[in-house]
Amino acid sequence: MRKLQCTLVLLVASCAHQGLVPATPYGRSADLNSSYEAKGAGGVAVATQGRYATDAAFEILRRGGNIVDAAVAVSMVQAVERPHSTGLGGGGFVLWGKKTAAGGKVEAWDFRERAPLAAHSKMFIDLKSGKAVPELSRYGRLASGVPGMVAGLYEFHRANGKLPWKELLSPAIRLAQDGFEVNPELASALEGKSDILGANAAARAIFFHPREPRVLKEGERLVQSDLASTLKVIAGEGKDTFYKGSIAKKILEEARLSRLLITRSDLHRYKVKLRPVLQSEFRGSTIYSMPPPSSGGVHLLQILNTVERAPLEKWGILDSRSVHLVASAMQQAFADRAQFLGDPDFVKVPVAELISKEYAYSVQEKIPLDRARPVSEVRAAPFRAPVESDDTIHFSIMDSEGNAVSSTQTINGHFGSGIVVRGTGILLNNEMDDFAASLSGANLFGAVASSRANFVEPGKTPLSSMSPTLVEKEGRFVMALGSPSGTRILTCVTQVLLNRLVFGLSPAQSVAQIRYHQQWQPDQIQVDEPGFPAELKGRLEKLGHKVDTTNLGCRVQLVERDTESSSLTAVSDIRAEGSARVER
C-alpha cells in the first residue's frame, strides 16, 4: 500500500506533487519535500510505520523523555496500531547507540521469542510422510515462542530511560481505549487473515464487526479494550505481571484451554539478552548491526564486504554489472545462512569468519562477471561446520547529539499464530516458523536449511533476519535504519546502505530506489515491482539469472544526521503507511 496522501504532519516538509518527477518506481518524486521525508535543523528525527507512533515519540520527548523513552512509547503504540505486525505477544531487537563527550557505546538488545521447553526438532514433521507441515509452525497451538517484548522494553528502559515506565505507556493505552480508524494496510491484513481470526473467538471479538460476520473494513473503528486494560496493568506493575503475575496467569489459562506448549517455567525463565554488537568498516564508515540470533547483521556486512572493492559507482546503480555482483553476493550469503546460522547459545556460528574482509574478497573473486552461478555451484563457506548438531515493524530515532535507536519488532506473520490470549487482547506470535522444521522444507519467507543449526530445541531462539543497523562516521552516529519483511530485510537494508554510501543518493532516494533480492534458493533475483527496467532484466537474463517480479515487502525507516551541520532527516518508506518527522 503506498502513501497516497500528505496528511502526515511534517514540520519542515511539505507535500510533493505526485508524479511530477517520476524518479522512483512508485511514480513519486524521490526528490523530497514529501510526506515520507522530513528535515530539520536539530532536535530529534523519528521514522516509524505509523502516524500515532510518531506522535507518541514527540509527546514523550516533550514531557522530558529521552530517545529511549520515546522508543518504548513507539513500540507500545505500534503494538496497538499495527496489531497484525507486532505486539506484546511477540519480540524483537534494539540496537542503541549513545555518544557522550567521553566516547560512545552501542548495545544490542535481544528480546526475541524463545522455544518453549516442550518444543523439539520433530514437532513440525508429519510422522507418516516424514515431511514438514508448514501450517503447524504458522498457525495455532504450536506456532508461538515465549514472548519477549514486555521484558525487553522494560529492561531496555530500566537501563537507559529517563521518565518513569508508567508514563511511557499512556499514549498506547489511550489509543487502544479510544480506538482508531482502520487504515488501508491494516484492512488488507485483516481481510487476508479473516479465516484465521474468525476461527479464534477472542480474535473475532476484537477484529470482526460487532454485528456482521466479517472483519473490520477500512475506515471502521478498531477499539482494543482488553489490550488497554493489559497495558494499564503492565504500566503499573512492570514486566513481572507478564511473566509471573496476573497477565502470566491469563496466558497460562489460555495455554491450558488451547493446549499451547508455553508453561509456567517457560514464562519464569524468560531472559532478555545483551548480545555482542557486530561492527565492520565499510568505505570510510563504521557499520554496526545485529548479531546472531539474527542472521541480518552477519550477512549485511558480508554482502557489503563482498562488493566493497568493485567500481559500483562507476558502473551505476541499476547497471547489470552492479546488480549481478550484488545479487551474487546475496546468493553466497544465503548459502552460508542455510549452513551456519542459528542461536549462538546452541550452535557455534563462525561470525568473525563470515564478516571478515578476507572471506568476502575471496567470494568476490569467485563470482564470474559474465554469468550467474547456479545454486549447485554456490556452496557454503568451507569453515569448519559447527560441531553441535508477512509482518514486523521497524522504527528509527536519532537526536542531534547523535544518540540513536534502531529497533525491529514482530509477531512474525500477519496476526502471528492467530491466537489471542483470552481477556488480554494479546495476539501470540508464530515465530516458531523461523526455525527450520527439516532440511527439505522452507519457511514463510522461503528460507531453507542445509544443517541442523536452526532446528528447534527447547529454550532456543529461532533464527531471525531482522537487521537494526547504525552507521558511524568521524566518531558520531550518522544513520539509523532497518525494515520489516523476513529474509528480505537484510538485503533491503544493505541496498539502502549502498545507495547512500556508495551511489551517493539522497536519504529519500536511497529508500525509494527500486530494490532486488537473491536468497540462493529459490534460484532467482526477485525484483521489487514496479518499474525494474526491462532492458536491465534482459541483460541479467543473458547472464543466466532468472528474474522474478514480486513485492519484496520491505518498509525501510531511516533517520540521519549531517556531520557538518548536525541537521536531521527522517525518511519513512514511500511504499506504505508511516510517518517521518523532525522536531526540536
Of the pair 355, 466, the CB lying nearest ligand DON is at: 466
Nearer Cβ to ligand DON (240/390): 390
Tell me if 484 contacts ligand DON by CB under 6 A. Answer: yes
Q: How many residues does the chain have?
A: 584
**DSSP string over 293-335:** TBSHHHHHHHHHHHHTTS-HHHH-TT-HHHHHHHHHHHHHHHH
In angstroms, the CA 415 to CA 190 distance is: 8
Residues from 321 through 350 that contact ligand DON (CB under 6 A) = none
Residues 167-196 touching ligand DON, rule: CB under 6 A, are none
What are 526's three cell numbers? 526477485
Q: Vertex 471, ends 506 and 492: CA angle to 5°? A: 65
Does 147 contact ligand DON by CB under 6 A? Answer: no
Asked if 321 and 120 touch (Cβ cutoff 8 Å), the reply is no
Q: How far apart are CA 209 and CA 232, in angstroms?
A: 25
Q: Could you tell me which residues are beta bridge partners of residue 287?
A: 280, 471
Does the active-site annotation cover 392? yes
Which residue's CB is nearer to ligand DON, number 169 or number 189?
Answer: 189
Specify whether the CB–CB gap between 570 and 407 falls below 8 A.
no
The cell numbers describing 565, all together, are 551541520
Q: Which range binds ligand DON by CB under 6 A, 120-128, 201-209, 304-312, 462-470?
A: 462-470
How many chain residues interact with ligand DON (CB under 6 A)? Answer: 15
CA-to-CA distance for 495 and 354, rounded, in angstroms? Answer: 19
**Backbone phi and psi for residue 346, each to the nearest 5 degrees, phi listed first:** -120, -35
Q: Which stretch binds ligand DON (CB under 6 A): 56-64, 180-188, 241-249, 390-398?
A: 390-398
Nearest distance in Å: CB 390, ligand DON:
5
Scanning 122-130, 158-166, 178-186, 386-394 for contacts with ligand DON by CB under 6 A, the matching segment is 386-394
**Residue selected from 465, 494, 518, 557 as contacting ligand DON according to rule CB under 6 A:** 465
Considering only 485, 491, 526, 572, the residue that binds ligand DON (CB under 6 A) is 485
Interior/surface letters 293-311, b for 16+ CB within 10 angstroms, e for the rest: bbbbbbbbbbbbbbbbebe
Among 381, 466, 471, 496, indicate the residue that binds ligand DON (CB under 6 A). 466
Interatomic CA distance for residues 488 and 367, integer angstroms:
21
- Binding segment for ligand DON (CB under 6 A), chosen from 6-14, 196-204, 270-278, 387-395, is 387-395
- Active-site residue (options: 48, 230, 392, 494): 392
- Does 434 participate in binding ligand DON (rule CB under 6 A)? yes
Least spacing, CB of residue 454 vs ligand DON, in Å = 11
Residues forming contacts to ligand DON in the complex (CB under 6 A) are 390-392, 410, 412, 431, 434, 464-466, 484-486, 489, 553
Catalytic residue numbers?
392
